[in-house]
Amino acid sequence: MKLRTLTLGLLSASALAFAAHAESITIATVNNGDMVRMQKLTEDFTKANPDIQLNWVTLEENVLRERVTTDIATKGGQYDVMTIGTYEVPIWAKQSWLLPLDKLGADYDAKDIIPAIAGGLSVDGKLYAAPFYGESSFVMYRKDLMDKAGLKMPDAPTWDFIRQAADKMTDRANGVNGVCLRGKAGWGENMAFLTAMSNSFGARWFDENWKPQFDQPEWKKTLQFYVDMMKADGPEGASSNGFNENLALFQQGKCGMWIDATVAASFVSDPKNSTVADKVGYALAPDNGLGKRGNWLWAWSLAIPAGTQKADAAEKFVSWATSKHYAELVASKEGWANVPPGTRSSLYANAEYQKAAPFAKMTLDSINAADPTHPTVKPVPYVGVQFVAIPEFQGLGTTVGQLFSAALAGQSSVDDALKQAQDAATAAMTEGGYIK
Amino acid sequence: MATQQTRSLARFMMAPSVVLLLVWMVVPLALTLWFSFQQYNPLNPIRDGFVGFSNYALFYSNPAFLQSILNTLTLVVSVLLITVIGGILLALLIDQPMWGQGIVRILVISPFFVMPPVAALVWKNMIMHPQYGVFADIARFFGAQPIDWFGQHPMMAIIIIVAWQWLPFATLILLTALQSLDGEQKEAAEMDGAGFVSRFIYLTLPHMSRAITVVILIQTIFLLSVYAEILVTTNGGPGYASTNLPFLVYQKALLEFKIGQASAGGIIAVILANIVAFFAMRAVGKNLDK
């Protein structure tokens, strides 16, 4: 009896000692395939860092955004590592909500991060989030339908060419739509596409004095072009289509062209899920010869909130998850094609990756063609290609997205949508104190 | 007959739960009221402070506000009409002796067991989708152009989905009322030469009136706060075409993080719900006193 008590006492004491020694960090992340894979591979990290335990909170994109935003803004302190995007980083860093990542380790090689991505995640030259995977947008098209239409897709098409190709490829009787584009309202849905597209038409959200620009001819041209093309060559119900809906349409062979995120390339070229896997070609996002292309820039990134008590452990984890070592780990377990794309230059110099991912070069070219600090033809006071990095943008972007979605659905005219967008933007900017 | 002591004892023993319920309701309501007078945007914490009624003014001047009130009322009235009329007809139908009555009744009631977001997803992706939906297939079979429900007729689509979910509830309540009708009364009316229609109007309908009242009151409360169906299918759009009051409040609070305006919207919603409930009680609630 005595021995048993003693053993139990010793055991619980050692368990307590271990618990006190081991530090557990909570990581909030998005339920995208690459992140789910990361969770499966964490043994590699915990083996090297036995004193750090990882707790995962994996959520759908919109819910994640709600939770982490609420947590950081109310100083809730639930998470030690947060998965956020290029939109949040500059705003939150300016509010001093994030810790600068300057202790990522000697072999981290921060200079290897693609400059456009690093630029989007830095404030005053300091990196505030480490990119896990990055993306731009480009044109994915059906080579067989282009041949049938007697056209050849250039590497860098113009919007006029896209329109012409869409008209020729549309074959409603056989369920083929010339072009599939986002129409579902949301700052991260239709407005990501439309804002990037408007850059190539010479439009901008605000002038240098934060005056909204929806009453300018460039926006009218953008929206009219988009609505006309989608009405003539787009799928039924386009105003409810976001990334996932268009992905399904393209995989089923219902789209001639699809302009969307570069990460979609690995899905449309995967013969297990795509009926058109062997027929897909890639081209840069279209332009109008004004010097800006209609492609965006995004990176899902890991950041550490300023309020965490476990900054060292959190930084160790961020360093592991975004390192070259992690890329090699994924490659060794699941093949090079599954390595998180779009963050490190070295990946694109890797011959094995180039062989496994035929879209690699076009992805890198697209990322390099986007400049978040100079996104538009005319000068602007904001950072961000397909968004405006100010706190008011989430709400305003979604409101404008609703108005443009209504124009696409034919519920309002292009002119009405633009006028209402101008009013909404003026109200939001006045309320936010940007214009007096 | 309770004595003075037992009554005091009862009050004493009930007090904790009454206080708890009061706190349960009063604290959130008071906080909402407090925030509705504050400029509070957690994303932009520099501009906090008391702002008087400006949140109410901003919420009211929002172009989506009037549309959302109209949509809220349209939804409540349309779904009530469909479910009450449809419920009476269905109750009459499944009250008839027929083969496989048990299975038919379960089938009619089954939509009520489906969670709203699930039901909305099924309707959106499998039934009303303009590409893959059953309705689109039927339209194409007859050589017609499929209807883009959520783009062209968003409110109608949501009304159909919500009505589909609430029809079983109405049917169930009305069926129980119907079954409590004395068979002898029906026989007597029949012997006096009353036809089916007169029997329905003068006998069945008055008998069901209390059940109809219950259905209207309970459904009104829930229909004023329909939210999941809109979030899943149209996200309030296109434009503001399917934004109702709860959805607008959600949009302000969790998409725009304007907590002050969202709280003001919440208070407006509480006031409106009370007005609607007051009229509903006056119009139909007197049936309950009988």
Coil/strand/helix, residue B121:
helix
Nearest C-alpha in B relative to A418: B239
Q: Judging by beta carbons within 10 Å of its beta carbon (0-12, 13-18, 19+), is residue B3 exposed, middle or buried? A: exposed
The tokens for B50 are 């008391």
Query: Model confidence over A240-249: pLDDT tens digits?
Result: 898 888 999 9
End-to-end CA distance of chain A: 80
Of B118, B210, B219, the residue nearest B169 (C-alpha) = B219
Q: Which of B45, B131, B239 sits opposite A411 (nearest CB)?
A: B239
Q: State the pLDDT at residue A10.
A: 55
Residues of B with CB below 8 A from A403's CB? Answer: 239
Residue A115 shares a structural domain with residue A150: no
pLDDT band at A1 (very low <50, low <70, confident <90, very high): very low
Q: Mean pLDDT, chain A, as a whole number?
A: 90
Q: Is the pLDDT of residue A37 over 50?
A: yes
Q: Is residue A123 domain-resident?
A: yes
Query: Model confidence over A207-259: pLDDT tens digits?
Result: 999 999 999 999 999 999 999 999 999 998 899 898 888 999 999 999 999 99
Q: Delimit the domains of chain B by residue range.
A: 66-286
Q: What is the CATH number of domain B66-286?
A: 1.10.3720.10
Identify the residue with better confidence: A144 or B193: A144
Residue A256 shares a structural domain with residue A402: yes
CA distance A223 to chain B (A): 15
Of B246, B74, B216, the residue nearest B154 (C-alpha) = B74
Q: Is the pLDDT of residue A395 over 90?
A: no
Coil/strand/helix, residue B203:
helix
Q: State the pLDDT at residue B287.
A: 67
Q: State the pLDDT at residue A54.
A: 94
Give the number of other CB atoms < 10 A from CB of residue B102: 8
Q: Which of A391, A411, A423 sits opposite B43 (nearest CB)?
A: A391
Nearest C-alpha in A relative to B145: A236
Q: Is the pLDDT of residue A50 over 60?
A: yes
DSSP one-letter code for A259: E
Supply the pTM of this predicted model: 0.84
Coil/strand/helix, residue A142:
strand
Q: Is residue A378 domain-resident?
A: no
Q: Which of A70, A237, A394 sits opposite B129 (nearest CB)?
A: A237
Q: Which of B59, B255, B261 to mutate to test the interface with A (most CBs of A within 10 A)?
A: B255
Query: Model confidence over A257-274: pLDDT tens digits?
Result: 999 999 888 889 888 889
Which of A165-169, B146-150, B190-194 comes out lowest in average pLDDT? B190-194
Q: Is the pLDDT of residue A7 over 70?
A: no
For chain A, percent of residues with pLDDT exceeding 90:
68
Q: Is residue A42 domain-resident?
A: yes
Alpha-carbon radius of gyration of chain B: 24
pLDDT band at B47 (very low <50, low <70, confident <90, very high): low
Residue A155 shares a structural domain with residue A241: yes
Residue A345 shares a structural domain with residue A400: no
Residue A171 shares a structural domain with residue A310: no
Residue A95 shares a structural domain with residue A158: no
Of B70, B241, B247, the residue nearest A239 (C-alpha) = B241
Rounded mean pLDDT, A321-350: 92
Contact yes or no for A69 and B152 at CB 8 A:
no
Q: State the pLDDT at residue B50.
A: 86
Residue A390 shares a structural domain with residue A411: yes
Q: Is residue A11 domain-resident?
A: no
Listed as own residue / partner, the contacts of A410-417 with beta carbons closer than 8 Å and 24 or more positions apart are A410/A231, A410/B151, A410/B152, A411/B151, A411/B152, A411/B238, A411/B239, A411/B241, A412/B239, A414/A220, A414/A223, A414/A224, A414/A227, A415/A220, A417/A223, A417/B239
The tokens for A91 are 């705003």
Exposure string of A331-340, with b = 16+ CB inside 10 Å and e = fewer, is: beeeebbbbb
Q: Which of A239, A388, A413, A436 to mutate to test the interface with B (most CBs of B within 10 A)?
A: A239
Residue A270 shares a structural domain with residue A224: yes
CA B233/CA B124 separation, integer angstroms = 6
Contact yes or no for A236 and B236 at CB 8 A:
no
The tokens for B148 are 């883009």
Query: Model confidence over A126-142: pLDDT tens digits?
Result: 999 999 999 999 999 99
Q: Is residue A107 domain-resident?
A: yes
Q: Is the pLDDT of residue A13 over 60?
A: no
Query: Model confidence over B72-100: pLDDT tens digits?
Result: 999 999 999 999 999 999 999 888 888 88
Question: Domain limits at A325?
Answer: 23-134+298-357
Q: Which amino acid is at B180?
A: S
DSSP for A384-433 reads -SSS--STTHHHHHHHHHHHHHHHHTTSS-HHHHHHHHHHHHHHHHHHTT
Domain CATH for A114? 3.40.190.10
Q: Is residue A5 domain-resident?
A: no
Contact yes or no for B258 and A184 at CB 8 A:
no
Q: Where are the extended beta strands (E) located within chain B?
A: 38-39, 49-50
For chain A, the domain total comes to: 2
Residue A145 shares a structural domain with residue A30: no
Query: Model confidence over B99-135: pLDDT tens digits?
Result: 888 888 888 888 988 999 999 999 998 999 988 899 9
Q: State the pLDDT at residue A14.
A: 53
Residue A183 shares a structural domain with residue A253: yes
